Structure 1
Amino acid sequence: MAPPPAVAVAPGVFRIPTIGSSAVNSFALVDDDGSVTLVDTGVERAPARIVAGLAALGKRPADVQRILLTHAHPDHAGGAKEMAARTGASIAVHEDDAGFVESGESPPNDRSSTMGRIFARLQNGRFPAVAVAEKLGDGQVLDVAGGLRVVATPGHSPGHVSLLHERTRTLITGDAIFNVLGLRHSPRMLCNDFRLSKRTAHVLGELEYDRVGFTHGPEIVDGAREAVRSFLAKSAMA
């Protein structure tokens, strides 16, 4: 069975699967005036699925006013250039990842393990370069669908961010935490600095929210904060 083109996470917040049913996700936030903010753009071939997801919400590419990227990796920024062209929307990303988005090259990965060094030799971290119109900073509250707070969670990439939609109390973790066969940290070999990524993920346990959306894996809509805090407490002891 084909995955649904879009999944409601909270009022005005929708997950758009771009690979499988939830392997890689983008998000659409719909404002009161009907405009859309898109969070992440999947791999280079993802725009077709994003457009289909928007259509399922009764939206067209022209309704997208802003594209936010959680970080500069090919499975999150790969479709940014095409989506910017289709929508006319500007690209925003944390200032520490902006240079990577504009060069179309991922940050270097963590080479502190054997697997990390092997992965560094094998990976092709390139994606279509695209201009960045806005550089985000930690704690910034964007005028998006009632307020979207930027939460810096570096380590997966130097400028990785999570996002808190304050009106619906919905957290989007980016790759700070995966929900793949349970909650987990991003694998070390995929991170720029694995130890930093683990450490900064604990910020997410201190926030207030009711639902959590993941860029890898399905959302949690019941007991979300408790689930995240429990995972972080266990991972701190590991």
Structure 2
Amino acid sequence: MAGTLVVQLAPDVWRIPLVRDFVNGFILRDDDGQVTLVDMGVKSSGPKVMAALAVIGSAPSDVTRLLLTHAHPDHAGGAAHVARETGRAFTLHHDDAAYAMEGSSPPRDRSFLLGRLVDRLSRPGRDFEPVPVERELVDGEVLPVAGGLRVVHTPGHSPGHVSLLHEDSRLLITGDAIFNVRGLRWPVKAFCTDFRMTQRTAHVLGELDYEVAAFTHGPELRDRPREAIRRFLARHRPD
């Protein structure tokens, strides 16, 4: 496969460029070799996730946890493939779990014409292949992943959207709360369930403590990312 299959973000933490840098997944590995995968990209990305696993010297049998930041087709599109390859089911926030299991996206923001149009095309199983779910996340819990992975519920982009803070390496995975595509920016308004809520809840990301910010859309920030995100949020306060 052409291109870089993994980008190391911290010891035993990698970004997987699934559609160049525009769509990303992540790998976290425990000291004992257990692997957690976060977000599986679009429908064609499943094999890339598995190839990335091989690059870091891990096998499908090492995967003990599969996570989704939310149930959108550019994150859950490859999920069913990865579930079959690893024999594992997924964990995601309660408010997105039912959508993942039926293969449909949560409603889009109907205050935007594009949101209304996309909603008309959405059908269970049409958005992405239904995803097996074994567990539901709650805000604030710390998963026993590679030294501790804290769940930060940041709804708005979807009802159950979460960001993830890896406490051991001080690395933040923003999910789609904020993009880093040609600079920091909001996700596409019409693809959010409630864009104004997205703006409000993203402000919690400025209060967390991290040294690297990783994005599901765009490359990571390693140089004072918390300050950059706080400046962005200060300039883009919700009405």
Q: TM-score, with normalisation over the residues of structure 2? A: 0.95
Q: Is 2:29 aligned against 1:44?
A: no
- Counterpart code for 2:135: E
- Counterpart code for 2:70: H
- Counterpart code for 2:81: E
Contact 1:110 1:194 in 2 (8 A): yes
Give how far 1:190 is off. 0.8
The corresponding residue for 2:83 is 84
The corresponding residue for 1:12 is 12
The corresponding residue for 1:106 is 105
Give how far 1:89 is off. 2.1
The corresponding residue for 1:69 is 68
Q: Is 2:147 aligned against 1:117?
A: no
Give how far 1:45 is off. 1.3
* Cα distance change on mapping 1:63 and 1:193 into 2, 3 Å: same
Distance 2:122 2:191 in 1: 10
Contact 1:100 1:106 in 2 (8 A): yes
- Residue 133 of structure 1 aligns to a residue whose secondary structure is strand
The corresponding residue for 1:28 is 27
- Residue 55 of structure 1 aligns to a residue whose secondary structure is helix
Contact 1:65 1:88 in 2 (8 A): no
The corresponding residue for 1:154 is 155
Give how far 1:48 is off. 1.1
Distance 2:216 2:225 in 1: 15
Contact 2:192 2:198 in 1 (8 A): yes
Aligned residues: 237
Gaps of 5+ in 1: none
Query: Where in structure 2 are the equivalents of 1:155-234 lying within 5 Å?
Result: 155-234=156-235
Distance 1:132 1:237 in 2: 33
Give identity over the alignment, percent: 57
Contact 2:178 2:215 in 1 (8 A): yes
Distance 1:107 1:41 in 2: 17
Distance 1:92 1:29 in 2: 15
- Say which is worse superposed, 109-118 or 171-180, in terms of deviation: 109-118
Distance 2:36 2:122 in 1: 30
Q: TM-score, with normalisation over the residues of structure 1? A: 0.95
- Residue 202 of structure 1 aligns to a residue whose secondary structure is helix
